[in-house]
Amino acid sequence: MKLLWINPIATNVYDEPIRIYLESVKEPGTEINVVSFPPPGPTHLEYNCYEMWMMP
C-alpha cells in the first residue's frame, strides 16, 4: 500500500515529524510519502476557524 499525506499548509517544517509518526504506526509493506503545498500559501489553517467562532 502507498500512502501520500498532503500537508495543506505552505511550509515543509511539519513534513518530517508527520513522516516519522506515520512510519511508526504503518503496516509492514506500506510506503509513506509526505509533501506540503509550495509557498506562497497559508502557514496554518486555524485562522479562519477563529474568525468563525467570533461570529454571532
| Distance of alpha carbon 12 from the chain centroid | 9
Tally the domains of the chain: 1
Confidence class for position 49, pLDDT limits 50, 70, 90 = low
DSSP string, 9-44: SS-STTHHHHHHHHHHHPPTT-EEEEEEPPSSS-S-
**pLDDT 10s digits, 9-43:** 888 999 999 999 999 999 999 999 999 988 888 77
Q: What domain range includes position 24?
A: 2-54
Q: Looking at residue 3, what is its pLDDT? A: 95
> Grid coordinates representing 38?
509550495
Predicted structure pTM score: 0.70
